[in-house]
A and B are shown apart, each in its own frame.
Chain A
Amino acid sequence: MGKRLQSVVLLGVVVALVGAGCSSKKKGAGTAPPSGVTEQGLATEGSLEQARRGLPPSGDGGPLKDIHFAFDSYELDEVGRNMLRTNADWLKDHTDSKVEVEGHCDERGTVEYNLALGAKRARAAKEYLVALGITADRLTTISYGEELPLCHEHDEECWQQNRRAHFVVLGE
């Protein structure tokens, strides 16, 4: 577990460095990260902003990892809870960052029901992070239902990727 945590933190730094090269409108935290490497430009874009710029919604490219759900469910499974612990550790190391939790669904079912289901998924992820010690005012939620899928095929492999909570680092 410790090793895994390290690699996630390291990945976060790599992402931060890559991110620094991009023209992000939002300013990231200017604090010194644990490794001593200068870090900036951490802020990432929400899935809708990315779609507006013609980009696909981002999956696991950011410092915080997506978690996944079963069909018509917002229950956190063990894999999801482990991932949330990892995400919580990152958030504890980056106390200036705020995060928007996006809830997403697969294409099956009604637009409106899926929007409500996405809200439940985002809420479940947020509440677990709060239970792990992240202050609630650092976490906002939004649901995109089935509107911004990662994957566009009509099969379970694709649907599984789309049923997710996605974490967008908003910066300070």
Chain B
Amino acid sequence: MNRFLAPLGQPFIRLARGAWRPATLAFLGLLLATSGPAAAQVRGTIFGPGTRSYPVAIAPLKNLSDSSRASDIGIRFADIVGRDLTLAGYFKVLERSAYIEKPETSGYTTETINFDNWSVIGALALVKGGYQLDGDNLTVEVRLFDVYQRKQLTGRRYHGAAQDLRRMAHRFADEIMNQLTGERGPFDSRFAFASTRDGRFKELYTMSPDEGDLQQVTRNQTINLSPAWSPDVRSLLYTSYKRGNPNLYVIDLLSGRETLLSDRPGLNLGGKWSPDGSMIAASVEDNGNAEIVLLDRNGKLLRRLTHNWAIDVSPSWSPDGRQVAFCSNRTGAPQIFVVGVDGGEAQRVTFSGTYNTSPAWSPKGTTIAYVGRVEGGFNLFTVRADGSEIRQLTQDAGNNEDPSWAPDGRYLVFSSSRTGRKKLFITDAAGMSQVQLTHGGGDDTSPAWSRWLE
């Protein structure tokens, strides 16, 4: 049953249009292999993130174009896939200089690859493929092989514009993780964050997980805070002081069209769409006191979830949309609580530590990440929603704040001052693999990891 060797030439399957760029992104893809989510099919054991133990070789794509026009597409594809797999923490991406087979003089099918050239450098898995650039039309065909068993595990053909190369690479990295770890990777996604990289004010940006395709979203030279993605990854919800009062706004990233969602006097803060996109939880000020409320998509008040003299901020939805975690200092110092969206009494989740904020509920539903203050420093923790199994993810590495979960629930993005200025980092849910994501000047804060782009 050679199910990984489905013939090429099947009709293209049209995939959903990317949400983060205008209509140029007509993205076509072809599933060459028909395997569903699978357990690891390769030889050797894949240990968890942080081990970086599973050796993978990622060959630059072969240029199949007729013209001899020089192009770095094949190398860029390999670079992005390699970076994603490095962020993932499971893999050791083998140095390209050690590769014996050169892409331009070798094939990328089971029959035409000399697997000895790859097993001798220690690769257990191999990525090889080719591309064709015709005007602005880019076709990428790429396959993942088990080097020891000399067989193809999966193959994909992507067709799009030249600028879609990045997304093709992220998609294939996600598919490699699907094949080798049994779960799709989280890299065909976007990050939103606040940054002072362009001046003294916090403006909002979005970018690809490889730190590329940076797009500035706000440019108002006031204070812009707490970006949150819509479930369809088309819009951002955020707080801005651009009209003086800290109001909630929604910006459609395709059109740039912006609407005012809430301008109640005082704070309008920390807005988060419900998982089905029908409601927004936010923190609004009532006579100097921040309370958690539910708003409809037009900003109309549906329900107040907290009735308390204390500070109530930073709502985060449970993935089933039935509960909201938030931060409250009703017991004297900030702690994490959970309340049902139908109201009722809030339940306290964190009991250790005297300063716990920024809850982020995992899309897998079992875990809440948060920030705790320990001996004057701020670190990431996770706790089960019932208050059990507290785990510290960061320590002795500056202040670590603003956790936001990846769509697969296996990773978190957060801000850390461990290298000086605040920069974004990625960690797996156990804190084993922590990799710096953003570089350069200014402080990068309040990251929000989107859902998958399609």
Contact = CB atoms under 8 A, between A and B. Distances in A.
B327 A110 contact: yes
A52 to B, nearest CB: 6
Interface string A52-72: 100000000000000000001
A72 B223 CA distance: 22
A168 interface: no
Contacts of B355: 72, 109
A112 B314 contact: yes
B289 interface: yes
Interface string B166-209: 00000000000000000000000000000000001110000000
A69 B290 CA distance: 19
Contact of A116 (B241, B290, B371): B290
Contacts of A110: 313-314, 327, 357-358, 371, 401-402
A169 B265 CA distance: 19
A117 B311 contact: yes
A112 B283 contact: yes
Contact of B283 (A72, A116, A120, A144): A116
B288 A111 contact: no
Interface residues of A, number: 25
A7 B77 CA distance: 71
A143 B223 CA distance: 12
Contacts of A52: 221-222
Interface residues of B, number: 40
B246 A120 contact: no
A116 B201 contact: no
B290 A119 contact: yes
Contacts of B312: 116
A142 B222 CA distance: 14
Interface string A93-104: 000000000000
B270 A112 contact: yes
A98 B402 CA distance: 37
A138 B327 CA distance: 32
Question: In terms of DSSP, what is the predominant structure of the interface of chain A?
Answer: helix
B56 to A, nearest CB: 38
B262 interface: no
A123 B289 contact: yes
Interface in B303-336: 311-314, 327, 329, 333-334
Contacts of A111: 225-226, 402, 445-446
Nearest to B221: A52
B446 A115 contact: no
B311 A143 contact: no
A62 B82 CA distance: 57
Given A48-B241, A51-B200, A141-B266, 12 more contacts: A109-B373, A109-B378, A110-B358, A111-B402, A115-B246, A116-B312, A119-B289, A120-B311, A123-B288, A142-B245, A142-B246, A144-B223
Interface of A: 48, 51-52, 72, 108-113, 115-117, 119-120, 122-124, 126, 141-144, 147-148
23 contacts: A48-B244, A72-B333, A109-B334, A109-B357, A111-B402, A111-B445, A111-B446, A112-B226, A112-B269, A113-B313, A113-B314, A113-B329, A113-B357, A115-B267, A116-B267, A116-B269, A116-B289, A117-B311, A120-B288, A123-B288, A124-B288, A142-B244, A143-B267
